[in-house]
């Protein structure tokens, strides 16, 4: 009996130690991701990052919100940022981040909000955004994304706010937009879309639709409260 108790106690202590080590490794992963981001920042005019940046985290706590808005930062986004697996909100508004977004960000499966407003990101909107199923607010306003909207974006059934305005997007808006039944505001203005699909008219929660008038080839079939052309 004593031997059995000793064995159970030993296993319990071993499991506790393993869990503690795993938790510490996870925290270290977050710290490494933040340090990688810092290393990819090439200009910090307000000295917000280079002088005040600390990656110290309390034991067992993970990074849930990353907000670097209005810092005037210049740099690129490292692939390591995809290791922030507990991230719920990513705010990079009003900076000068540029380049393309690394595919590793597709691992941020807890993400509910992403705001990349007023930066210089370019290229096609990555189709892997369609795997962020918890995303509720998707804001790419004021960048240089180009080409059509990938249909995969319209897999985001939790999406409520979609802002793709003032990029260089073109082509037809995919019919799959009708799948986003929780949408209440859409911003498409400042692009060169050629057609608005009839499926937008089935979005019962839609209150605001912002589109550009020029180049549209059909009447906007919307039942929303307010439509801005």
Mean pLDDT over each residue of the chain, to the nearest integer: 84
Neighbours of 159 (CB within 10 A): 24
Percent of the chain with pLDDT over 70: 78
Residue 180 vs residue 215, higher pLDDT: 180
Residue 191 and residue 169 in contact, taking contact as beta carbons nearer than 8 Å = yes
Could you tell me which residues come within 8 angstroms of residue 205 by beta carbon, excluding any fewer than 6 positions away?
Answer: 181, 182, 183, 184
Per-residue pLDDT, 9: 33
| Residue-wise pLDDT tens digits, 2-56 | 444 433 333 333 333 323 333 444 558 999 999 999 999 999 999 888 777 766 6
pLDDT band per the 50, 70, 90 thresholds, residue 59: low
Bridge partner residues of 122 (DSSP): 144
Full set of structural domains in the chain with CATH? 2-228 (3.80.10.10)
Per-residue pLDDT, 194: 87
Per-residue pLDDT, 56: 61
pLDDT band per the 50, 70, 90 thresholds, residue 218: very low
| Residue-wise pLDDT tens digits, 89-147 | 999 999 999 999 999 999 999 999 999 999 999 999 999 999 999 999 999 999 999 99
* CA 121/CA 102 separation, integer angstroms: 11
Per-residue pLDDT, 100: 97
Strand, helix or coil for residue 190: coil
């Amino acid at each position: 009996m004593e031997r059995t108790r000793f064995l159970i106690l030993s296993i319990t202590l071993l499991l506790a130690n393993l869990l503690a080590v795993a938790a510490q490794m996870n925290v270290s992963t977050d710290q490494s991701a933040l340090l990688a981001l810092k290393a990819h920042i090439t200009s910090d005019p307000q000295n917000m990052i280079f002088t005040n940046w600390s990656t110290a985290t309390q034991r067992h706590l993970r990074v849930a919100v990353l907000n670097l808005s209005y810092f005037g930062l210049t740099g690129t986004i490292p692939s390591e940022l995809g290791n922030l697996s507990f991230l719920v909100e990513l705010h990079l508004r009003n900076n000068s981040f540029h380049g393309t977004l690394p595919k590793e960000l597709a691992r941020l499966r807890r993400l509910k909000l992403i705001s990349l407003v007023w930066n210089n990101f370019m290229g096609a909107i990555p189709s892997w955004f369609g795997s962020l199923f918890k995303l509720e607010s998707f804001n790419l306003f004021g960048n240089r994304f180009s080409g059509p909207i990938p249909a995969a974006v319209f897999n985001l059934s939790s999406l409520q706010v979609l802002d793709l305005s003032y990029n260089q997007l073109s082509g037809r808006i995919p019919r799959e937009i009708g799948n986003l039944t929780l949408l209440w505001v859409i911003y498409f203005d400042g692009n060169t879309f050629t057609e608005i699909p009839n499926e937008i008219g089935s979005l019962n929660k839609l209150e605001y639709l912002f589109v550009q008038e020029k180049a549209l080839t059909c009447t906007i079939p919307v039942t929303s409260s307010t439509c801005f052309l």
